[in-house]
Amino acid sequence: MKILIAYASKHGTTQKCVERLMRNLQGMEVEAVNLEQATVDPNIYDMVVFGASVYFGKLRPAARRFLTEYEALLMQKPLALFLCCGLTEEYEHYRQKLLPAALRENAFQTAFFGGSLSTEGLSFLEKLLVRSIRSSLYEESIDNGDYTAPSLPGILPENIDKLATYLRQEAIRLTDESHK
Ligand X SMILES: Cc1cc2nc3c(=O)[nH]c(=O)nc-3n(C[C@H](O)[C@H](O)[C@H](O)COP(=O)(O)O)c2cc1C
Binding interface with ligand X (CB under 6 A) = 9-15, 53-57, 84-87, 90, 115-116, 122, 126, 129-130
Closest distance between ligand X and the C-beta of residue 134, in Å?
10
- Return the number of the residue (109 or 119) whose C-beta is nearest ligand X: 119
Q: How far is the CB of 99 from ligand X (least distance, A)?
A: 14
Q: Give the helix ranges, DSSP H, for 99-156.
A: 101-106, 124-143
Tell how far CA 165 is from the center of its chain. 16
Which CB sits closer to ligand X, 4 or 63? 63
Rounded Cα distance between 21 and 43, Å, is 21
Q: Which is nearer to ligand X, 24 or 53 (CB)?
A: 53
Dist. CA 8–CA 61, nearest whole Å: 9
* 8 A C-beta contact, residue 79 and residue 48: yes
Nearest CB to ligand X, comparing residues 55 and 108 = 55
Backbone angles phi, psi at 95, to 5 degrees: -55, -45
* In the complex, least distance from residue 120 CB atom to ligand X, rounded to whole angstroms: 10
Q: Tabulate helix, strand, coil % of the chain (nearest 5).
A: 50, 20, 30
CB-nearer residue toward ligand X: 33 or 122:
122
CB of 43 to ligand X, least distance (A): 25
Pairing of strands 58-59, 47-55: antiparallel
Query: Which residues 6+ apart lie within 8 Å of 133 measured at CB?
Result: 86, 87, 117
Minimum Å gap between C-beta 167 and ligand X is: 20
